[in-house]
């Protein structure tokens, strides 16, 4: 009788202890409202994490790829790397007097950024080429770090490192806790993103894939250096994203996250195949806390991707309704 009584007491204590643990288990995605998007994310992670089931995915195969601009941090009113190039043009202008008469530099120096962008992709590449090259990789890293320490967003007045989406930081952490390896796959410059990705997102430099310029190994005072050249090597956008993933990772992701038509091929390549897959688009619908744009936007256009997501059953995050907090700086 005594042993049975002790066993009953112990069993009761175990039950009491278990109940508050279950009730108090922290929500890994607190900035996400409890809607379909959050439920879909958690259901997918649970599904692929159960050993012995048909949908189980071994940890080594749990690859998740994320676009950066508009997916992990803001991209309006202009891409942040473009604004970095603008500040570099202004800083370098005294040594480049010809820029006062030469477009797109002349428009930048007049403060007319829309006119500077009238030349499209060619103008952007020309500005980035002129301001990013001629430096060693170490020198470029210092310039970018210094810029991030002081430069502020033209609309919010916040540091660019604060313009990160809090819900996406939570998602990155949630996936990593569940044995995912997270990668950035972005049209942004790879050397630019590698400077801040680990500190801001917890993603190390070797897991950052992006557009790149050509580089050369040179020697200064007998020591080897790598110098950035004014020539484009690879544009990591649209069809370039699956190609870059295959080349750099060698595994097809099982989850992909984007916000624009530039991410469409990455999501297609991830989800249009056998096995458990998850694709998600961030839809910018919150004009009050962020910006509202999609099909007609010249930056981060989401048109074909929105139609594909609906047709294929991908998850589309309605920023206004799915996120109770947007930016990292919000209380």
Interval 111-134: pLDDT, tens? 999 999 998 888 888 999 899 989
Q: How far apart are CA 159 and CA 282, in angstroms?
A: 22
Q: How far apart are CA 259 and CA 271, in angstroms?
A: 15
Which letter, b or e, does each residue of 156-169 get, where b requires 16 or more Cβ atoms within 10 Å of its Cβ?
A: eeeebbbbbbbbbb
The mean per-residue pLDDT over the stretch 278-285 comes to 98
Lowest-pLDDT range of 17-21, 80-84, 198-202, 257-261: 17-21
The mean per-residue pLDDT over the stretch 230-236 comes to 94
pLDDT at 25: 62
> Which residues sit opposite 218 in a β-bridge?
225
Q: At what angle do helices 137-150 and 190-201 cross, to 10 degrees?
A: 50
Q: How far apart are CA 32 and CA 119, in angstroms?
A: 39
pLDDT at 23: 38
Interval 100-114: pLDDT, tens? 999 999 999 999 999
Evaluate if residue 7 carries a pLDDT over 70: no
Question: Measured at the alpha carbon of residue 247, what is the angle toward residues 246 and 251, in degrees to the nearest 5?
Answer: 35
Q: How far apart are CA 315 and CA 184, in angstroms?
A: 19
Predicted model pTM? 0.91
Nearest to 73 by CA among 256, 300, 294: 300
Q: What is the mean pLDDT of the chain?
A: 93
Query: Please, what are the domains in the chain?
Result: 28-76+165-322 (3.40.50.1000)
Q: How far apart are CA 211 and CA 195, in angstroms?
A: 14
Q: At what angle do helices 264-271 and 304-312 cross, to 10 degrees?
A: 20
Q: Is 41 helix (H, G, I), strand (E, B) or coil?
A: helix
């Amino acid at each position: 009788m005594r042993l049975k009584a002790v066993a009953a007491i112990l069993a009761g204590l175990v039950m009491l202890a278990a109940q508050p643990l279950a009730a108090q288990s922290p929500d890994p995605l607190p900035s996400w409202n409890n809607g379909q998007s959050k439920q879909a994310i958690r259901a997918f992670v649970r599904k692929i994490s159960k050993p012995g089931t048909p949908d189980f995915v071994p940890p080594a195969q749990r690859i998740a790829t994320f676009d950066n601009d508009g997916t992990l941090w803001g991209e309006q009113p202009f891409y942040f790397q473009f604004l970095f190039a603008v500040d570099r043009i202004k800083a370098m202008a005294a040594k480049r007097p010809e820029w006062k008469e030469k477009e797109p530099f002349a428009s930048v120096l007049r403060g007319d950024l829309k006119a500077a962008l009238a030349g499209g992709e060619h103008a952007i590449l020309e500005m980035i080429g002129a301001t990013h090259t001629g430096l060693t990789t170490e020198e470029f890293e210092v310039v970018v770090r210094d810029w991030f320490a002081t430069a502020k967003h033209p609309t919010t007045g916040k540091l660019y490192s604060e313009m990160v989406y809090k819900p996406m930081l939570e998602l990155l952490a949630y996936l990593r806790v569940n044995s995912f390896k997270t990668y950035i796959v972005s049209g942004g410059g790879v050397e630019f993103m590698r400077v801040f990705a680990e500190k801001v997102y917890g993603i190390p430099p070797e897991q950052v894939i992006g557009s790149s310029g050509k580089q050369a190994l040179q020697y200064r005072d007998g020591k080897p250096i790598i110098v950035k050249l004014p020539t484009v090597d690879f544009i990591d956008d649209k069809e370039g994203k699956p190609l870059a993933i295959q080349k750099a990772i060698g595994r097809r992701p099982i989850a992909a996250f984007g916000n624009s038509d530039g991410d469409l091929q990455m999501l297609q390549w991830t989800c249009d195949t056998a096995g458990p897959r998850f694709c998600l688009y961030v839809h910018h619908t919150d004009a009050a806390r962020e910006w509202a744009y999609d099909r007609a936007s010249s930056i981060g256009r989401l048109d074909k991707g929105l139609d594909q997501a609906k047709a294929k059953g991908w998850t589309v995050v309605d920023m206004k309704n799915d996120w109770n907090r947007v930016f990292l700086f919000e209380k």
